[in-house]
Amino acid sequence: MAMPCWKIRKAFNNHGESLNRLSQQEKVKVYRYNKMMDFFTPERITDLWKCDCGDCPNETPTAAIIGKIRGESTTTKSNGTIRQSKATYVGVLAFLLMEILDIRPIAKFMERGFSDQKLAGSRELDSDPDQPLALPGSKPPISQQTFNDLVSQGSDGPSQGSADYSNFFKYFIVNLRYEDRYTHRHINEDHFLPFNIIKEVGKGGYSVVYKAEMLKGFHDFVEKVQV
């Protein structure tokens, strides 16, 4: 018997963790990508799709749907080099399940290509990665109007406000890559950076310095090893 969505929602809630976010001076519950991948197994996705609560599809998902949510290879060609990236939609599924309480809009996200990687500001899935960008990340990867259109289920559907739009990015923490260390990157204010603020170290006339730790799984920098 399929597990109802409310039970899956309750189980997933235990996978969140607190992040000290500087801009809000409070702890915010965020969700790591690798934990979402581990949680949303093909079996759990099937249970969600078969749930008959009225806010789930109430049908058996095809292998193609499950495969697309959990990742499919996307191939792009640039300067004769073929690059393969993995687009997933587990973050989108988690947000719809936890915040909107309706997973059916995921079809719109997949149709428009708003994957976890794109929403986290990743350049790995850019259709033309060599095309220069003046200010990468200067605009959010999805506007609030587009967000409203995607999560709406019609005139009788929920009307989402700015609170839901801000909560949306808790599921798409920005990834930091070593190869981009010399590239200027403007992070949109709605995005969550993978830094857990520990304490204030000092401040002066121009800035405040904080001690922070980078969350594992959101960067590929080599950690300092003491020998």
Which of 169, 41, 40 is closest to 95 using CA atoms? Answer: 169
Which pLDDT value is given to residue 219?
67
Alpha-helix residue ranges (DSSP H) falling in the chain: 5-13, 33-39, 42-50, 63-70, 90-95, 106-112, 116-119, 144-151, 162-168
CA triple 36-113-85, angle to 5 deg: 65
Question: Where exactly are the structural domains of the chain?
Answer: 5-214
Average of per-residue pLDDT across 105-127: 79
SS3 of 83-119: EEEEECCHHHHHHHHHHHCCCCCHHHHHHHCCCHHHH
Which pLDDT value is given to residue 107?
94
Distances (CA, A) of 127 to 4, 155, 191: 38, 34, 22
Tell me the pLDDT band of 154, cut-offs 50, 70 and 90.
low
More confident residue, 169 or 101: 101
Tell me the pLDDT band of 129, cut-offs 50, 70 and 90.
very low
Encoding tokens for residue 219? 């960067």
Q: What is the spatial distance between Cα 63 and Cα 49, in angstroms, rounded to a whole number? A: 12
Which pLDDT value is given to residue 86?
77
Which pLDDT value is given to residue 25?
59
Average of per-residue pLDDT across 125-141: 48
Distances (CA, A) of 213 to 54, 94, 183, 218: 42, 25, 21, 11
Whether residue 130 is predicted with pLDDT greater than 90 in this model: the reply is no
10-46 pLDDT tens trace:
999 988 877 776 655 567 788 888 889 999 999 999 9
Q: What is the spatial distance between Cα 107 and Cα 42, in angstroms, rounded to a whole number? A: 17
Tell me the pLDDT band of 217, cut-offs 50, 70 and 90.
low
State the pTM of this model.
0.74
Buried residues in 195-209 as b, exposed as e (16+ CB within 10 A)? bbbeeeeeeeeeeee
For residue 209, list its beta bridge partners.
Answer: 202
pLDDT cut 70: percent of the chain above it: 67
Number of alpha helices (DSSP H) and beta strands (DSSP E) in the chain: 9, 6
For residue 81, list its beta bridge partners.
Answer: 78
Q: What is the spatial distance between Cα 24 and Cα 162, in angstroms, rounded to a whole number? A: 15
